[in-house]
Amino acid sequence: MRGVSFEGLKARWGRATLGLVLAVGCAVAVAAGARRPAQPDVIAVRLGGDDGVTRIVVDLRQSASGELDPAAATGQLALVLKGATSPGLLRGKGHGLVRDWIVADAPGGARLTLDLAQSADIQRRFLLPPADGVADYRYVVDLAPRPGAAAVAAAQSQPAPAAQPAVYHARKIIVLDPGHGGRDSGAVGAASYEKNVTLAAALALKARLERTGRYQVVMTRTSDVFIPLEQRVQIARAAGADLFLSLHADSGADSAIRGASVYTLSERGEQRVGYVLSRHEWFLEQAHDSGDGAVGQILLDLTQRTTRNRSAAFAQTLISRVGDRAALLPHSQRDAGYFVLLAPDVPAALLEMGFITNPQDEARLNDPVQRAAFTDRIAQAIDAYFASARTRLAAR
């Protein structure tokens, strides 16, 4: 070891020892981090609504599917969120149709148990993915009173004759889809972007619909964020939408072209339905149970045909109403293979509200007064569509 002094050896040994200590310390820290338990999936449980419809929302860190537990005790409803974990035992006071609730780990996932204030059934349940600035998943359960339950409870608690049970009318679920957003600006006008025009119109329409008390409105976005097309479709399907309406503003090379138009899904577009289907579709399960693969395709075709007819009926009504407040393109009711219209089980339409590249249309789309009048006509078309649907059903 020629040429190395004792002091040099001492310094080298000191550095090697320090490095070894640091390496051991890092390994211990990494090991401790690896042993740290993962955060539970269930974040919180929230309740809202009233005795007519009670909504339970479970906030989750990851996606989870729900499965009803048939072993729930009398007077309770239980749902297992498969694969999800809970932070021990959670419990809280109820609201509306729920007296109290408990979440606990169970075989297969986190078990949500609802102690009911009166007889009730699950009206719908669905998963909402992160969107609109919300980072978490939300598993939503809507409860509705069992027909006659209020009258039975009144009869048991009072000697006087029970009142006639109130007729329960479920609110229709409308999904509004403001086109584009975030990095996707859409068409560009002289003074505005399509993404801003569509969001302003959707928010105005949402407020107009909710004032009636007849609708529950779900937005694919409520701010300037980018939402992929397939996620917009899944939001509508997960919400169990009765109607999906996508709002857009057209553009053209000729600034003189103006007018609104409505699109529904074309027959060729229906052939792309596989892009939005999962392996757990009800018609595929029916085919599996029957042992005949053709059954699934037949059921899918029937579903798409019904949805296409309903979409066309809404589009016709929509054109007739918005034509009172805006110029219309020739052949204003059209069809196309737009991705957002692919859901086989949700009546859907895409409304081009006008040409953002036309000065008159752009001014109308950006004026709050004219926007309110225009969205009022859209709301009237939605009212007329569902009124017509009820008339057809009553006539059967």
Confidence of residue 10 (pLDDT cuts 50, 70, 90): very low
At 282 the pLDDT is 60
Average pLDDT over residues 20-41: 50
Task: Strands of the chain (E only): list them.
Answer: 42-49, 54-60, 65-68, 76-82, 90-93, 98-106, 109-116, 120-128, 137-145, 172-178, 215-219, 243-250, 260-265, 328-336, 348-355
pLDDT value at position 390? Answer: 54
CB of 219 closer than 8 Å to CB of 176:
yes
pLDDT band at residue 377 using 50, 70 and 90 as cut-offs: very high
Average pLDDT of the chain, as a whole number: 81
Q: What is the pairing mode between strands 90-93 and 98-106?
A: antiparallel
Q: What is the mean pLDDT of residues 122-134?
A: 80
- In the chain, the amino acid numbered 193 is Y
Higher pLDDT, 349 or 94: 349
The pLDDT-based confidence of 128 (bands split at 50, 70, 90) is: confident
Whether the predicted pLDDT of 288 surpasses 60: no
Hey, what's the torsion of the CAs at 266, 270, 276, 279, to 10 degrees?
170
Inform me whether the pLDDT recorded for 58 exceeds 80.
Answer: yes
Whether the per-residue pLDDT at 376 is higher than 50: the answer is yes
Q: Cα–Cα distance between 103 and 40 in angstroms, integer?
A: 12
Torsion of CA 182, 140, 381, 315, to 10 degrees: 70
Q: How far apart are CA 232 and CA 128, in angstroms?
A: 11
List, in order of start, the domains of the chain with CATH numbers.
Answer: 42-157 (2.60.40.3500), 172-395 (3.40.630.40)
pLDDT of residue 133: 65
The pLDDT of residue 157 is: 44
Q: What is the pLDDT of residues 194-216, one digit of tens each?
A: 999 999 999 999 999 999 999 99
d(CA 244, CA 176): 6
pLDDT class of 48 with cuts at 50, 70, 90: confident
Grouping H, G, I as helix, E, B as strand and the rest as coil, residue 69 is coil
What average pLDDT does the segment 341-363 reach?
A: 96
